[in-house]
Amino acid sequence: MSSTSDETRRQQEVRLRATWAAPKGWRYFSAVNNTVVGVWYLTGTFLFLLFGGVLALLIRTQLAVPDNDFLSADLYNQVFTLHGSVMMFLFAVPLFEAFAILLLPQLLAARDLPFPRLSAYGFFCFAIGGIFVCGSIFFDAAPRGGWFMYPPLTTAIQQDVGADIWLLGLSFIEIASIAAAVELIVGALKCRPPGMRLGLMPLFSWYVLVVSIMILFAFPPLIAGDIMMELERAFDWPFFDPERGGDPLLWQHLFWIFGHPEVYIIFLPAMGLLAMIIPTFAQRKAVAYNWIVLSAVGIGFLSFGLWVHHMFASGLPAISLGFFSAASEVIAIPTGIQIFAFIATVLAGRLIFSVPMLYAAGALAIFVIGGLTGVMVAIVPFDWQVHDSHFVVAHLHYTLIGGMLFPVIGAIYYYYPLIKSRRLSEKNGRVAFWFLFIGFNVTFLPMHMTGLLGMPRRVFTYGSIDGLDTLNLVSTIGAFVIAAGVLLVALDLFRPKSAVPFSPRNPWNAGTLEWLQRMPGENWGVRSVPLVSTRYPLWEQENFVADIDAGRFYLPDAEEGKRETIVSTVADARPLQCLRVPGPSFMPMLAAFFTGGVFVVATFHWWWTALLLGVAALLVILAWLWTGTALIPREPRKNVGLGLTLPVYRSGSASVSWWAILITMLADLTAFASLVFGYFFFWTVHEEFPPAGNPGPGLAWPLAAAALITTSWLLTCLARNRNRADHASGFYVSLALAATGALAGAGALLAGPLEHGMQPTAHAYDAIVWLLVAWVGVHLVPAVIMQFYCAARRLAGRMTPGCDIDICNVTLYWHFLFITAIATIAIIAFFPLLT
């Protein structure tokens, strides 16, 4: 350990504080620190929870008595649709992102996440999309088709703007989720402190990693479905219209391929929070760490094999239902393991029953009941009996409130000292807990009965039938008791706390790195990036906190005034790079504003305005990239302390941005695979596909497109190599030819269906071929822009043979584009020959 005088340390802290300071005053919303963006996210999700909660109270008021006319049928439809959508898309999933952005750097003793501006961009997308969707109800224009928006109700019958608001507003929010997932995966894999190999990662980090990967593969199918449905609604492309070869069941598949993993995307992070809370209050290490990781990974994968259990009543063959029923039973195994591991930790430790632990216990009790009814509805004959009844409403609320809301409120009480350096009221927390716990059971336990008695979901009223009246009234009373509990939590959160003393440091005597934070907190995250050799370093590593505070580890200073963190290897966290991350900027907010504008105005079919906003968004994003990414450092290496010198700039697969592109393109490829699924789904359900007499796109134009796009891809690879060899003319000529080939390839691809007279409104076959072709075309446009961008970077001296992040990343994008284009051409040109 290096020794430094008190004065040196003080000066180091002054420089660190200045470098990591969050902007104040009118520049406040240019902040990108994870500690600030995470709090914005948490506040935003909590406000949406309150809004969704008010909608729930409206539902319960309407259902309090039979034949009630408190809400009209139409308004009731808007209210329950918005309630489900808000709770799922604007509360449950973003809350994971909020906690992960706030906590992950602290858990990993990193200074920040690798792409802080991307976090800020994601937040603004979330906020804009959320306000747009929620605001629609005040104009009597909210979506009315249920949170799953089944066609043909939402395509042929509900022609108003509500469904468009849902499709475009929430698609925009899905982009925010994918942006956060990219950030968090790279953060968990590449930004761990030296020594923290995978097996030493805090359990919440494992959950963040698994859930982020799930988001990558779960959200794109919904985006693909959204595109299809919006094309049907706006341009009459008949993907879901049986009269013209479409099939509404395709939407159900795409929706639930997203929708079921989403349940686990919501549930797993909450379990991750419990995995942090329970060991602290048991004052011992988590029992069966490996088994808990097994559960997280196992659930993450298995959850993708359950989607049809939401479609048991849709008329699929019984054998198909059998596969999904079996998979739905299997997932109980890792879920149970996880819960037993938590209980074992409690039993093996010396339990302190503080407020967060109270919520953790309540969560386990409620979730177990929800899990058991889940096993019941996974059995097909039982599901047929209770399908679309209030029994399912009870089941899903036991699962989501037990599996998510209770752990989250516990985590808010647990982590509040990290957010505001003060503790919430212990007494208030306990009172709120009992309101919530009793209110919850009073509300939802009777719904099992109303469901078994045959009360359907999503129907705005009911007749006076024995049993239903009383049980519904009880549920409504319970809902208001829950509301009182939430109100108590909200009052505790938002009341002024200047009179409340600062919390002591590490107030719960936890063992993990986030509790290194001083009280009041500093924006720099961790005073010096430590060497970690245990899972609970605050408990197990001698003199650990003192050494960190004294700046005896890595990066104790910010001599150049740059924001820096350490990048390490995936498996064993060997330091690889001193990464410089960008500071405050309004670019993310502006970019989100313009991209959000595209989605908002497209809802009303103002296509020219949407185009203008799209161009504005593109220009802002280019300016953001130009000024803030892949900056060439003055010195190529930096001494980060303890005698270690690391490179400041790394490109190719050693660069975090290369990983980000790789992860983003995996999500993109998943969306493309969902469109391909659509093509083959139509082939499965039609006796003749392509329909007789339909010429398809032919062979000549698709083959020409394949040749041109392949050439363009090879030329892009060549341009990367020419740049590395410092062969400027070879680089520019290759890129110019590649761009020309790409544009010509796009033209050839479009010429196939165009020349053969394929009409996307005529039949689902024409529509899906046009969609696949358009998908490639839409990807070729940014590919060409990227090629020009690389040429400009080199011309401006911002990219050199040794500092070539831009062209490496563009080449990676092109690898994926090449796969997408060739797969598209093989499907549209050659598959019809086989049939």
Partner 1 sequence: MNDAAQKHDLPLWLLAVPVAAWGLHFLASYVLAAVYCAKKSTVDTALSTPIGPLRGWILLFLVVTLAVIGIAAWQAARVRGRSSEHRTGGQKSVVASVLLLLCALSSAATIFITAVPFAFGDCRQ
Residues that bind partner 1 (CB under 8 A): 189, 197-199, 289-291, 293-294, 297-298, 300-302, 304-305, 315-320, 322-327, 329-330, 333-334, 533, 570-572, 684-685
d(CA 379, CA 398): 18
Instruction: Provide the b/e sequence for 508-527 (b: ≥16 CB within 10 Å).
Output: bebbbbbbbbebebbbbbbb
We find the least distance from the C-beta atom of residue 543 to partner 1, in angstroms, to be: 18
Radius of gyration of the chain (CA): 27
- Given a contact cutoff of 8 angstroms between Cβ atoms, the answer to whether 821 and 776 are in contact is yes
Q: Which amino acid is at 260?
A: H
Closest CB to partner 1 among 176 and 201? 201
Closest CB to partner 1 among 210 and 735? 210
Residues sharing a CB contact under 8 Å with residue 54, sequence separation 6 or more, in sequence order = none
- Our separate counts of H helices and E strands in the chain read 27, 4
We find the least distance from the C-beta atom of residue 395 to partner 1, in angstroms, to be: 22
Closest CB to partner 1 among 316 and 445? 316
We find the least distance from the C-beta atom of residue 688 to partner 1, in angstroms, to be: 11
Closest CB to partner 1 among 287 and 598? 287
| Backbone φ and ψ of 644, nearest 5° | -105, 130
- What angle do the packed helices 355-377 and 332-348 form, to 10 degrees? 150
We find the least distance from the C-beta atom of residue 680 to partner 1, in angstroms, to be: 9
Closest CB to partner 1 among 313 and 348? 313
Closest CB to partner 1 among 318 and 796? 318
Long-range contacts of 537-545 (CB under 8 A, 24+ apart): 537/511, 537/512, 537/513, 538/506, 538/510, 538/511, 538/512, 538/513, 539/285, 539/511, 540/511, 545/516
Query: Could you tell me if residue 583 is left (phi over 0), alpha (psi between -120 and 50 degrees) or otherwise beta?
Result: beta
Residue 577 CB: number of other CB atoms within 10 A?
Answer: 22
We find the least distance from the C-beta atom of residue 730 to partner 1, in angstroms, to be: 35
We find the least distance from the C-beta atom of residue 425 to partner 1, in angstroms, to be: 39
- Given a contact cutoff of 8 angstroms between Cβ atoms, the answer to whether 32 and 588 are in contact is yes
Closest CB to partner 1 among 297 and 733? 297
Q: Give 578's strand partners.
A: 566
Closest CB to partner 1 among 395 and 535? 535
d(CA 82, CA 90): 10
Closest CB to partner 1 among 39 and 823? 823
We find the least distance from the C-beta atom of residue 378 to partner 1, in angstroms, to be: 12
User: Two tokens at 506?
Assistant: 């590490």
- Given a contact cutoff of 8 angstroms between Cβ atoms, the answer to whether 648 and 635 are in contact is yes
We find the least distance from the C-beta atom of residue 170 to partner 1, in angstroms, to be: 27
We find the least distance from the C-beta atom of residue 196 to partner 1, in angstroms, to be: 10
Calculate the CA 69 to chain-centre distance.
38
Residue 632 CB: number of other CB atoms within 10 A?
Answer: 14
Closest CB to partner 1 among 316 and 545? 316
Closest CB to partner 1 among 297 and 736? 297
Closest CB to partner 1 among 331 and 589? 331
Q: What is the DSSP letter of 727?
A: -
- Alpha carbon separation from 171 to 147, 148, 312, 519, 634 (Å, rounded): 13, 13, 27, 39, 41
We find the least distance from the C-beta atom of residue 71 to partner 1, in angstroms, to be: 37
Half-sphere exposure of 15 (CA within 13 A, CB side): 18
Beta-sheet strands, E only, within 468-525: none
Closest CB to partner 1 among 5 and 290? 290
The secondary structure element, H or E, covering residue 579 is strand 575-580
List the alpha helices (DSSP H) in 495-586. Answer: 537-540, 544-549
We find the least distance from the C-beta atom of residue 319 to partner 1, in angstroms, to be: 5
Q: Which amino acid is at 21?
A: A
- Given a contact cutoff of 8 angstroms between Cβ atoms, the answer to whether 666 and 716 are in contact is no
Q: What is the DSSP letter of 528?
A: S
Q: Which amino acid is at 506?
A: N
Closest CB to partner 1 among 571 and 611? 571
We find the least distance from the C-beta atom of residue 201 to partner 1, in angstroms, to be: 9
The secondary structure element, H or E, covering residue 577 is strand 575-580
We find the least distance from the C-beta atom of residue 322 to partner 1, in angstroms, to be: 4
We find the least distance from the C-beta atom of residue 282 to partner 1, in angstroms, to be: 21
